[in-house]
Amino acid sequence: AVVMATSSVAVEEAVEALVSLGYSAIEAKRWIRSIPNYEEKTAEELLRLSLKQFGL
């Protein structure tokens, strides 16, 4: 249960960071969920990988 709570917090933090950069929450969540093993990543990793994966 702790892992799930941590991963959802990381996802929410990464979504908030992308939204603060001007992207929609829907886009941000879609990008994050397309990252392999996204539930095991930190918010920083998710943000970096999202931006890198989509050439942003």
Residue by residue, pLDDT tens for the chain (56 residues) are 444 555 789 999 999 999 999 999 999 999 999 999 999 999 999 999 999 987 76
Class assignment of domain 2-53?
mainly alpha
SS (H, E, C) the chain: CHHHHHHHHHHHHHHHHHHHCCCCHHHHHHHHHCCCCHHHCCHHHHHHHHHHHCCC
d(CA 51, CA 56): 5
Structural domain boundaries in the chain: 2-53
pTM: 0.81
Question: What pLDDT was estimated at residue 1?
Answer: 41
